[in-house]
Structure 1
């Protein structure tokens, strides 16, 4: 891994559930890690569904290995949100992680 390519600051978040003062469950995204990574678009497609055109971009995020990263988490980068589709431990050496992600477009 070339360290110079890890020039983007990303935040990895996990979904957590807590209780409010009334005892109701409140679900929030909380920061798990802030790391430097390489963010590279891999593929894109456009398709027509539900009476509208949609675009989808698959992005590969490469970072140093840290434990506990899973597809249940998401990545924040440059005011954008990426859903983690898969977590790949490159060559199973616990040195580098490749996160295959899909950008989430907010409603509205």
Structure 2
């Protein structure tokens, strides 16, 4: 593992309190996100594809982030990188050696 390759700072965010000041539930899309942890990561672009849906062009970018192994991360979090938001699709342990994790994400557009 070459530490120089981990040159991007990414922040994992978790959905915050899902109730407003009056105690009513906030729809998930409007709920605030709270920063959980910021780590150094290596970016690997997996694919980019363009497809037509409902007569409009849609773009989809899939990215892999490789980080040092840590606990406390889950697929219901999201990744924030330079103002861009990524939904986590999978968290994979590389070779089960507990050295690195691969986070597979899809960019929110």
Q: Residue 91 of structure 1 aligns with which residue?
A: 95
Residue 49 of structure 1, CA deviation:
0.1
- Matching of residue 7 in structure 1 with residue 11 in structure 2: no
Instruction: Report the number of matched residues.
Output: 105
Is the strand fraction higher in 1 or 2?
Answer: 1
1:75 alignment counterpart: 79
In the alignment, what sits opposite 1:49?
53
Give RMSD over aligned pairs.
1.3
| TM-score w.r.t. length of structure 1 | 0.89
3-state SS of 2:95 partner: helix
**What is the Cα deviation at residue 19 of structure 1?**
3.7
Is 1:40 aligned with 2:44? yes
Runs (5+) with no aligned partner, structure 2: none
Which aligned runs of 4 or more in structure 1 are off by greater than 4 angstroms? none
For structure 1, the residue ranges without an aligned partner over 5 or more in a row are none
Deviation at 1:82, TM superposition (A): 0.6
Instruction: Note the C-alpha offset of 1:18.
Output: 4.5
Structure 2 partner of 1:63: 67
Question: Quick one: distance in 2 between partners of 1:23 and 1:2?
Answer: 48
